[in-house]
């Protein structure tokens, strides 16, 4: 079945440091989406990438979609304590959205 691998599982950074999480699929994706989930909360949509090689930015967040549409990354520049949470990528095949394992981000102030 469709699977999305996401690494790292966990990252603890000092406030101001950068953070990156990576997702990889064995098959070509229709699109990839990124979500953030705060502890005790539900996933909140961040962005969707559709085009091969696409790069999108949201303030300090940069999202990339690989040329082969099989991998993606989320990079946060100069992390802040408000960035804490779990970041999930989700690959879409047809109507189905399959989530990666998520990367838990902790930020030390």
- In the complex with another protein, the residue whose CB is nearer, 42 or 59, is 42
CB of 109 to another protein, least distance (A): 22
Separation of alpha carbons 15 and 49, rounded Å: 27
By CB under 8 A, how many residues form the interface with another protein? 21
Structure tokens at 48: 């969707």
CA–CA separation, 28 and 25 (whole Å): 7
Taking CA atoms, 103 is separated from 53, 57, 94, in Å, by 22, 19, 25
Q: Which of residues 35-74 bind another protein (CB under 8 A)?
A: 41-45, 48
User: For the chain, what is the radius of gyration of the CA atoms?
Assistant: 13
Q: Which stretch binds another protein (CB under 8 A): 21-29, 54-62, 70-78, 89-97?
A: 89-97
Catalog residues that contact another protein under the rule CB under 8 A: 1, 6, 31, 33, 41-45, 48, 88, 90, 95-102, 104
């Amino acid at each position: 079945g469709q699977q999305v691998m996401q690494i790292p599982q966990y990252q603890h950074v000092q406030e101001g440091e950068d953070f990156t999480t990576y997702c990889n699929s064995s098959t070509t994706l229709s699109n990839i989406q990124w979500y953030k989930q705060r502890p005790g909360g539900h996933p909140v949509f961040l962005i969707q990438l559709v085009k091969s090689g696409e790069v999108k930015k949201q303030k300090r967040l940069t999202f990339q979609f690989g040329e082969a549409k099989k991998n993606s990354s989320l990079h946060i520049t100069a992390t802040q304590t408000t960035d804490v949470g779990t970041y999930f990528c989700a690959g879409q095949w047809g109507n189905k959205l399959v989530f990666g394992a998520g990367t838990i981000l902790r930020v030390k102030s």
